[in-house]
Each structure stands twice: as structure tokens, then as C-alpha cells.
Amino acid sequence: MHRVETGTMVCRWLGEVTPAEMRTSYQYLFAEAQVLGSRLWLLDIRRRNNEDPETAQWLLDTFMPTLAAHFGGPTFLSYLLSPTHLVRVDDHAIDIVHVAQLQRSVHVALFNEEGAANEWLVQQAGKIRVV
């Protein structure tokens, strides 16, 4: 889904998915974002299994570098996690945040409230216009 008023891509996983389905979801979102030129993403993973190390590695090694290279400017990923998942964020998720921040082209933030996640994205929109 694309929120025209904020230029935000929104992806909500409504249940458990396989690693292949998760990758397909990210690739579909990327394709849509390319068409729309959207560099603000809200990724709602509150109901999805987000503890797959293989997918985490794929995000780091393949997806985020592709994302960084394509847009030629910063992309902002706001992850919405359940409070339980936020507490259980494993080392791979922390690595994703750390490496993404180091790339300086993909910025990741983790939230357990949708309002805060959206607010962060709106703040980042100003950085896109400045860059």
C-alpha cells in the first residue's frame, strides 16, 4: 500500500510467512517503491515470524545494498514490532540496524507503536528533500 499524503510504502504481514514468502514480499515492495519513487517504508512485522537468520542475512547481503544503490539517496525503513518481538530482537536484527546505519543509505528504526513509527518517517521525509 502507498500512502500518497506522506509518500510512505506500507507493508503489513498478517501472519506467519515462509522465508521465501518474506523475500518475495520485500522484492514486491521494492518494485512498487521504484515505480512510485518512495524512500519511506513502514514494515509492520508484529504478526510475522521475524527470527529467521537466513532472511536476516539476505536482507544484509542482498536486499539493503540493492536498495541503497537504486535510490541514490537515503531510504528509511520503520519496522513496527510487537512489544514481545521488540524485547526478543536477536543479534541478526541488531546487525541489520547497525550495518544499515553504517551504509548511510538505508536507515532502520524499530518501534512498537505505529504512531511513533509514522512520526519518525515524517521526520525523515524532510531529510529526503534536503539531500
In the predicted structure, residue 90 carries a pLDDT above the cut 60: no
**130 contact partners, CB below 8 Å, separation of at least 6:** none
Q: What is the mean pLDDT of residues 81-90?
A: 63
Between 126 and 23, the more confident residue is: 23
CB atoms within 10 A of CB 16: 10
Name the pTM for this structure.
0.81
pLDDT on residue 30: 93
Over residues 49-66, the pLDDT tens digits come to 666 778 878 888 888 888
Please report, for the chain, how many H helices and E strands are present, in that order: 6, 5
The DSSP call for residue 78 is E
C-beta separation of 117 from 111 below 8 A: yes
Return d(Cα 119, Cα 127) in angstroms, integer: 13
pLDDT on residue 120: 94
Residue 41 sits at φ, ψ, to 5 deg, of: -130, 130
